[in-house]
Amino acid sequence: MNLALSQISKFIHQLPKVELHLHLEGCVTPEFWLSLIQKHQEDSHITLENLEKRFVFQSFFDFMDTYRDIIFSFQEPEDIYHLTKFAMHHLVSQKIRYCEMMFTPFFFVKRGLPYREILNAIDSAAREVEADHPIKMSLIFDGPRNFGAEIVAEVFEMAAGDHTGRVIGVGLGGDELNYPAHLFQKEFEKAHSYGLNLIAHAGETDGEKSMIDAIQKLKVSRIGHGLGITKGSRLEALIREKNITIDLCPGSNLATGVIDSLEDHPFGKYYQKAYTISLNSDDPGLFKTSLNQEYLKMAELHKLSEKDLIQVILNGISGTFLPDSDKRILSTEVESYLS
């Protein structure tokens, strides 16, 4: 690392940040996964080396297979408590002040874990870390589109019935190619009537068509991934008209083979076009990344200045679902790092 890059790395580590596209389940590292397996399968012969091989993905669907197997290793709410603490401490290490963390309760409830105990476990772990560090975490429940509208509706009802005050919105994840957004329009309309904020994964594997569908049919405020917006397109006009925030995840897209190289990622183009973009790590445990690494990679690739880095963070703050007063407080803290 040359001197200039070393200096920008230090600056990035110092900056207070927000993260808007982060999956709790995606914070699992090979080491954490091994600890779960050893806890519940004392006679297991699985090694760390075995698991590390599962964290090398040839495609998006290869990644989903590993993701599914990780979920099956969670046997009790206490496991989710420990993961939440693990994830929260990771956020603290990145100097993340606020995170809107995605979680898919259906994956665990369908295996017999009581929903209320799961949510209590997450909330308790988060509160413990929040008490000791300047960080706040909100939850967005992700509806797994692959399981159909009925299950997505169940997840949204769980969000509406939150008793902790931590769940602020709902989203849509999974296979956008075979389960397009418009299939879930009624479920999103109902979630909106509950006062929940709305986001969706779109443009990760299915481009402009998927994003237009999510914006027009689901009325989302944010798009996760958002690859493939072209200049002068109908989609670009929609994004500007509706002030849609695009939650970008370059490292994730590279790891799952959606892009061939970071140079292929549209971060630089989107930033130059002044889209409202945020930078995120998505599944940092699975992709062996962090928010600081994502910022450093983009800074190196696109020759970002300190002012540019701060602007990306400010864009992210504007895209949060925080009250305006909290956005101003966070923005003021970030702006204080301008020379």
Total of domains in the chain? 1
Which position has the token pair 């790590």? 281
In this predicted structure, the answer to whether residue 42 has a pLDDT above a threshold of 80 is no
Q: Are 229 and 208 in contact (CB under 8 A)?
A: yes
In this predicted structure, the answer to whether residue 1 has a pLDDT above a threshold of 60 is no
In this predicted structure, the answer to whether residue 106 has a pLDDT above a threshold of 60 is yes
Q: What is the pTM of this model?
A: 0.95
Rounded CA separation 17/290 (Å): 12
pLDDT per position as a tens digit, 44-56: 889 999 999 999 9
Range of the domain at 285: 3-335
What pLDDT does residue 61 have?
83
Cα–Cα nearest to 316, from 12, 99, 93, 91: 99
pLDDT per position as a tens digit, 238-288: 999 999 999 999 999 999 999 999 999 999 999 999 999 999 999 999 999
Average confidence score pLDDT of the chain: 96
Question: Strand pairing of 276-279 and 245-248?
Answer: parallel
pLDDT above 90 covers a percentage of the chain that reads 93
Rounded CA separation 73/19 (Å): 26
CATH number at residue 7: 3.20.20.140
pLDDT per position as a tens digit, 65-85: 999 999 999 999 999 999 999
Which position has the token pair 């603290």? 92
Give the mean pLDDT of 278-307. Answer: 97
Give the mean pLDDT of 154-182. Answer: 97
Q: Are 270 and 248 in contact (CB under 8 A)?
A: yes
In this predicted structure, the answer to whether residue 21 has a pLDDT above a threshold of 80 is yes
Q: Are 214 and 220 in contact (CB under 8 A)?
A: yes
H helices of 21-94, where?
30-40, 48-53, 60-71, 77-93
Which position has the token pair 């399981």? 147
In this predicted structure, the answer to whether residue 313 has a pLDDT above a threshold of 90 is yes
Strand, helix or coil for residue 315: helix
What pLDDT does residue 2 have?
55
In this predicted structure, the answer to whether residue 192 has a pLDDT above a threshold of 90 is yes
pLDDT band at 330 (very low <50, low <70, confident <90, very high): very high
What pLDDT does residue 292 have?
98
Rounded CA separation 166/71 (Å): 22
In this predicted structure, the answer to whether residue 3 has a pLDDT above a threshold of 60 is no
Which position has the token pair 């990622």? 265
Return the bridge partners of 170, or none.
141, 198
